[in-house]
Amino acid sequence: MSAPRDLDRQIQSFLAEGPLELPEPSYAQVRDRMETTRQRADFGLWRTSLMSRNLKYGLTVAAGVLVVIVGYQLIGGATPGGPAATETPQPSVSSEPASAEPSTSGEASLPVGLHVMEAVSIPGHGDSNDGVTVTIPAPGWFAEPDGGSVTKDLGGDDRVTVVLVPGDFYRVPRNICNWLTPDLEQEIRIASTVDELVAYLAEQTYDTTEGSLTRELSTPVDITTIDGYAGQSITGVVPAFPYGDPRRCIEQRFCSLLDRDGGLCLLPHLEPNALVTLWIAEGDGHSCCRVVAASYWPTTRTDLLDEMNAIVDSMTFVIY
Amino acid sequence: MYADLVGRAQRGDREAFDELARTAGDRCMAIAFRILRDFDHADDAVQTALLTAWTEIRALRDPDRFEPWLHRILTHACYAEARQRRRWTEAIHLISVEPASGPDPYLTVDDRDQLERAFRRLTVEQRAVLVFHHFLGLPLPAVADRIGIPLGTVKSRMYHAKRALQASLEADARASSSQERMA
């Protein structure tokens, strides 16, 4: 600089220069991409007037927003409300879900039987390759029609949600409240195996009035639940928000898992005291893991939990 | 201002969101360019942010906070864009964009070049704090809210950013005068 000047004034003058408009073609591109991008469903409690019945009480594992039931058609022969299909789902049968249009009915209970669940694309990651066939074991389960999840809500604490978390590799924030730290290398680690993912989750912290605490998770249990893939299952309680105020957390939610770029929460939690179980199965060699999550409450009735477990047990991965 | 459009967009109305995007998009571009110092990367970051906003808008609780909410998404889109750029194009020299708004007579061409170099040496997180404070004119608590970081972190980034800018400018000035002496 040729002469000493006030730095603030210089910065302001410098920043005043530069483009002030987004080019018209960019708006058009956004508009085009919106046509093929689903909105994630809202799982909060703050807009009940806009929500359908199955969302009315919100979800804890809002990762369910990334799950779509592609159509409510049965792949097998079950009729609505009737018994479940008995034949084993074949990937060749379920590999053509594109022909099944997402249902627009948010009020209709899913027919008992076999369905395809397809995780929606993560923005910026291209099309999703995540999908499962799943058997709905009993009436009363709902899928949010526009990028929803599988939920059964009998009122009060008798409310269960099962979701398929999309993605191939996951970043795990150390602090589940302040989960969007820009210091990725220090604060957010990427998990490339089931063991790493479980270990990183067990080390996550949350803020309290007494300081930072490590979240409490159950001891991992070895599983072969999901389509025969080995893995581990863990359960944890969603902690209270710092000072009871969700606004103290990024986007007013806790977050356990981020996408591989670390910018998008794939497993948010909105409801303190809810229980969350994760089934983390080995990937196919090109990915870390396949993650299924469920949320429920400590006093949720056991028959509902049995249905939840039956749904997870019935899952078969679909390769598109 | 945004309540009606946000409400409609939350119910899947693409026209309403398009209108929202056009209301907020230009300012987003102005912010993103000033953080990233590159037109194409800023364009990409804004598009990513708008698409993410469309995807996530049902989670927005207070429609009147649409723009702050969008700016937070944009900031993180800029971080991601900067990381990606660092990964793949670290060695590429970026060509300065001709300013669309008129040059400030307060700054000479040399000043501007020195500031450009100094600004690029800052971390993207430091640049974001400077842009929200000095370009948008937000007070520091509002910057903290807008970016989603504690106020203390904003102050710390601001302090280090200015110190780095000052040091950079002084180093440039020393280099210039020594070149003049050599000549």
Q: What is the DSSP letter of B103?
A: P
Which residues of B are less than 8 Å from A252 in CB distance? 61
List the single residue in A2, A26, A184 with the smallest CB-CB distance to B43.
Answer: A26
Closest CA to A40 of A306, A229, A259, A230: A259
CB spacing of B112 vs A14 below 8 angstroms: yes
Find residues 272-311 of chain A whose CB sits inside 8 Å of chain B.
none
- pLDDT-derived band at A122, boundaries 50, 70, 90: low
Residue of A27, A30, A253 to mutate when probing chain B, most B C-beta within 10 A:
A30
pLDDT recorded at residue A260? 75
Share of chain A above pLDDT 70, in %: 68
* CA B78 to mean position of chain CA atoms: 7
Question: Is the Cβ of A34 closer than 8 Å to some Cβ of chain B?
Answer: yes
CB atoms within 10 A of CB A222: 10
CB spacing of B18 vs A27 below 8 angstroms: yes
| Beta-ladder partners of A115 | A134
CATH class of the domain at B1-89: mainly alpha
3-state percent breakdown (helix, strand, coil) of chain A, nearest 5: 25, 25, 50
Question: What DSSP assignment string belongs to A79-118?
Answer: PTTSPPP-SPP-HHHHT-GGGSPPP--SSSPPPSEEEEEE
In this structure, the strands spanning A67-69 and A141-143 are: unpaired
Contact by Cβ (8 Å): A83, A74: no
Please state the rounded mean pLDDT for residues A155-177. 86
Dihedral pair phi/psi, residue B76, rounded to 5°: -70, -30
Question: Is the Cβ of A3 closer than 8 Å to some Cβ of chain B?
Answer: no
Per domain, the residue ranges of chain B are: 1-89, 105-183
Q: How many interface pairs between A and B have CB atoms less than 8 angstroms apart?
A: 169
List the single residue in A2, A18, A30 with the smallest CB-CB distance to B51.
Answer: A30
Of residues A128 and A49, more confidence is placed in A128
> pLDDT tens-digit profile of A191-234?
888 999 999 999 998 888 777 889 889 999 998 877 778 899 99
Classify residue A147 as exposed, middle or buried by CB count within 10 Å of its CB (0-12, 13-18, 19+). Answer: buried
Cα–Cα distance, B61 to B127 (Å, whole number): 28
Per domain, the residue ranges of chain A are: 43-320
Contact by Cβ (8 Å): A144, A151: yes
- Please name the helix (run of DSSP H) or strand (run of DSSP E) that holds residue B76, with its range, or none: helix B66-88
pLDDT at A310 over 70: yes
Find residues 49-78 of chain B whose CB sits inside 8 Å of chain A.
50-52, 54-59, 61, 72, 76-77
3-state percent breakdown (helix, strand, coil) of chain B, nearest 5: 80, 0, 20
pLDDT recorded at residue A60? 33
CB spacing of A31 vs B14 below 8 angstroms: yes
Question: Is the Cβ of B160 closer than 8 Å to some Cβ of chain A?
Answer: no
CA triple A290-A295-A301, angle to 5 deg? 130
Enter the pTM of the model. 0.49
Residue of B62, B98, B101, B134 to mutate when probing chain A, most A C-beta within 10 A:
B134
> pLDDT tens-digit profile of B135-149?
999 999 889 888 877
Cα–Cα distance, A68 to A220 (Å, whole number): 28
- pLDDT-derived band at A95, boundaries 50, 70, 90: very low
- CA distances to A19, A97, A178, B140, B179 from B121, in Å: 21, 49, 26, 22, 22
Nearest Cα residue in chain A from B166:
A7
Q: Which CATH number fits domain B105-183: 3.40.50.300, 3.40.228.10, 3.40.50.2300, 1.10.10.10?
A: 1.10.10.10
CB spacing of B26 vs A46 below 8 angstroms: no
pLDDT at A311 over 80: yes
Which residues of B are less than 8 Å from A22 in CB distance? 25-26, 28-29, 43, 46
Question: Is the Cβ of B34 closer than 8 Å to some Cβ of chain A?
Answer: yes
pLDDT recorded at residue A40? 66
Cα–Cα distance, A81 to B25 (Å, whole number): 48
Token duo for residue B138: 């937000």
> pLDDT tens-digit profile of B166-182?
888 888 777 766 666 66
- What's the complex ipTM? 0.84
What residues contact residue B21 under an 8 Å CB cut-off, 6+ apart? A27, A30, A31, B50, B53, B54
pLDDT recorded at residue A218? 92
- Amino acid (1-letter code) at residue A188: I
Query: Lowest-pLDDT range, A125-129, A245-249, B179-183?
Result: A125-129
pLDDT recorded at residue A121? 54
Cα–Cα distance, A194 to A225 (Å, whole number): 14
Rank A89-98, A110-119, B123-132 by mean pLDDT and report only the highest.
B123-132
The mean pLDDT value of chain A amounts to: 71
